[in-house]
Amino acid sequence: MSFAEDIRVIFERDPAAANLLEVLLTYPGLHALLLHRLAHAMHRRGVPVVPRLISHLSRWVTGIEIHPGATIGRRFFIDHGMGVVIGETSEIGDDVTLYQGVTLGGTGKEKGKRHPTLGNDVMVGVGAKVLGAVTIGDHARVGAGAVVLSDVPPHATAVGVPAKVVVFREPDGSSRRVEHLPDPELDMISALHRRIEELTDRVGLLERLLREQGSGERVSDGTSPTDNRSSIGPARVGRTLREDR
């Protein structure tokens, strides 16, 4: 791990990075990473209290909370970073990118390994939550707003709540879709369309029965409306509609 490498990766992954001075002074992800390295080194040596104070200071200054116990690999990049939380037993590989609002958290008060493990070249989108001792495989992607509660295989893209794998990206750059992306609006529109068709059919049946009553035609049970009007009255129409459903 080197400071020059940290600077270079910012210019590689953030097109908004204009110059070195701007990066040094205004990139909270870089500041949080440097402070974490100091806190992590002290934490590994068993220094009490101070690592947590450094972590607390880092959160206050940058809006990014990284527990001193978290293990972070090389070329780690946090873009914007506000609201990022990385738990104590998190393990992050090389070339990982996190966006703002990402949580690498636990699911309870259990001891031991309780936070996620991210492989190499993983990207976690805005606001995503990766919870528990799950593993995100190498070169995987987690979509914005996803809630990951189970492992994500290498080269996969997971989206949704809870997150599901929707695409596998092959090493040659091609992709293989395994599931359609969730579309709640389309599902709602489809349900409304089906309901409108059902109501249209029922209205058509009601109109036909009313026409039969008005024209004096005989209905299906062989009786004439003039002989037994009650059989084609509201009760009969309601019964017919219920049977049609």
CA atoms within 13 A on the CB side of 123: 12
CATH number of 3-177: 2.160.10.10
- Residue 160 burial (CB < 10 Å; 0-12/13-18/19+)? middle
Q: Would you give the distance in Å from CA 54 to the centre of its chain?
A: 31
Question: What pLDDT was estimated at residue 125?
Answer: 95
159 vs 165: CA distance, rounded Å? 7
For the chain, give every domain's residue range: 3-177, 184-244
Walk along the chain (245 residues) and give the pLDDT tens digit of each residue: 688 999 999 999 999 998 999 999 999 999 999 999 999 999 999 999 999 999 999 999 999 999 999 999 999 999 988 999 999 999 999 999 999 999 999 987 778 899 999 999 999 999 999 999 999 999 999 999 999 999 999 999 999 888 988 888 776 666 666 655 566 777 889 899 999 999 999 999 988 888 888 776 554 555 544 444 444 455 555 565 555 55
* 8-state DSSP, 230: G
- pLDDT of the residue at 123: 96
Tabulate helix, strand, coil % of the chain (nearest 5): 40, 15, 45
pLDDT given for residue 167 in this prediction: 84
Identify the pLDDT of residue 97.
96
pLDDT score of 174:
62
| Omega within 30 of 0 (cis) for the link into 171 | no
For residue 227, give the H/E element and its range. none
pLDDT at 236: 57
Which pLDDT belongs to residue 166? 87
Amino acid code (one letter) for 104: L
